[in-house]
Amino acid sequence: MRIGELARRTGVSTRSLRYYEQRGLLESARTPGGHRQYAEWTVDRVIRIQTLFAAGLHSDVIAGLLPCMHDHDGTPNERATHTLAEELSAEAERIDRAIADLTRSRAVLDEVMTTARLGRDDGS
């Protein structure tokens, strides 16, 4: 499929797809004319990439990670590097901290809302 269809099927802009390729997250075959051509399983990969981005991982970390995940054909690929494993657990901790922070923030915001409500309009 070409980039437009991939974009439509994944909900990711063509700009982003080209960016992913530039960052080494996606590969594409090219038509004689230079248009990108994607395999079916690329859809899954793009979605996976999106999830990882949503987790706050940077493109270079994702780039190192992707070849270690088993792909379309179920073949496990490269073995995870020691450094990669460390990076991953670092990311996991970061996410945990982020969640904890947000939870605290949410509590504070609740408190704030209550406090602010003290001075609320009482029915004019």
Partner DNA sequence: GTAGAACTTCACATCGGCGTCAGGTTCAAG
Partner DNA sequence: CTTGAACCTGACGCCGATGTGAAGTTCTAC
Q: Which does 2 bind (CB under 5 to 8 A by kind): a second copy, DNA, none?
A: DNA
Closer residue to a second copy, CB minimum distance, 29 or 124:
124
CA distances from 18 to 24, 86, 95 (A): 10, 29, 27
- Report 105-124 residues binding a second copy (CB under 8 A): 105-106, 108-110, 112-113, 115-121
Question: What whole-number distance in Å separates Cα of residue 52 and Cα of residue 66?
Answer: 10
Question: What whole-number distance in Å separates Cα of residue 121 and Cα of residue 119?
Answer: 7
Question: What whole-number distance in Å separates Cα of residue 68 and Cα of residue 122?
Answer: 60
Binding residues for a second copy (CB under 8 A): 51-52, 54-56, 65, 68-70, 76-80, 82, 84-85, 88-89, 91-92, 95-96, 98-99, 101-106, 108-110, 112-113, 115-121
